[in-house]
Amino acid sequence: MLTREITLYCRHGLSISQARQLSRMAGLFKSHIRLSNLSRRQTAEASSLLALLTLATQPGDLCQLLIEGLDAELAHMAFNCWCVELGKPLGRSTTAYLAEQRLATRQPDYHFALPQVASLSAPLNKPQVLAQLTGLLPGELVTDSPSLHSELMARERVSATIIQAGIAMPHVLSAAIRQPALAMIYSPDPVDWGSSLGAVHHIILLCAPRQLPPAQLRPLTRLARAMMDETLTHALRCASNHQSRHAIVIEGLLS
C-alpha cells in the first residue's frame, strides 16, 4: 500500500467551503484520506464534512493530510493544489525555515535548526548513530563532544530510550553543552536500540546543560509527552522529508 503525505502550516482556519471541497475530492479516490491537526492532536476522516469542521483549524496550526492506498500517488497530486490554498506545504525551498522561526519566537533558548536533521545513507549501530547525532549539534554549543557521547552511552546502558515503537529519544543533562539543543536522524534501515519494543527509525537527541533551571526544561517534558500521542507520532512516522519531521518535533516542543 502506498502512503503519501502533505504537511503544512495553515494560513487561515479551514472554512466550510474548503472542508466541503476536501470531502468531495476524497470521495473520488479509493485511498484512505485523513486530515490531522497536529497542533491540537486531532484527526478527521476527509470524507466526513462534520468531522473536518471539528478540527477547529486556526492560522498557524500545523496540519498533515495523509493518503494511504493504491491510488495515493494520484490523490497526492490532486490534493497539492487544495493544500496550497489552505496554507504553506513543507518540503519546498520557500518554507525551509518556517519551523525554525516558530521555535526562535517561542523558545529562543532552544537550538534546533533544519541542518540538525539528517537521514542515514547506510545502516549504523546505536553508538554510531549517537555519534552522528552529537555531530549535528552546533559546534559553538558543545564544549566536549567525546564526553557528551560517553554520557549518552552511559544513559543507554541504564535503559534503552525508546519512547514509542520506532522512535527513540536519547537524552542527557551535561556540562558538555552550553544551551538546550536537539538533533534528529531518520534511518530508512531499522536501528537496533536494545529494546523489547523493537528497532527504531526516528532518533531524536535532547541535550541540556546540567545546571539548567527546571522551568527551562519544560519544553523537553512537553516533547516527551507529545511523543506519546499517537496523532503526532503517526504523523512523524509518515513524514517524507526533513522539513516535515523538523516541524512535527518543534510542534511537540511548543504545544
pLDDT in tens, 231-253: 999 999 999 999 999 999 999 99
Domain end among 38, 62, 89: 89
pTM score? 0.96
- Domain holding 11, by residue range, is 2-89
97 alpha-carbon distance from chain centroid: 14
CA distance 63 to 8: 5
Distance CA 153, CA 157 (A): 6
Tell whether 149 and 229 lie within a shared domain: yes
**246 and 190 fall within a common domain:** yes
Counting residues of the chain whose pLDDT is more than 70, the rounded percentage is: 100
Q: What is the pLDDT of residues 71-109, one digit of tens each?
A: 999 999 999 999 999 999 999 888 999 999 999 999 999
Three-state secondary-structure class, residue 247: helix
1 pLDDT above the threshold of 90:
no
Please count the structural domains in the chain.
2
Contact 244, 90 (CB under 8 A): yes
Q: For cell 517561542, name the residue.
A: 106
Q: pLDDT tens for residues 139-184?
A: 999 999 999 999 999 999 999 999 999 999 999 999 999 999 999 9
Q: Residue 53 and residue 221: Cα distance in Å, rounded?
A: 30
Same domain, 39 and 135: no
| Amino acid at the residue 106 | R
Same domain flag for 55 and 121: no
Domain with 40 in it: what CATH number? Answer: 3.30.1340.10
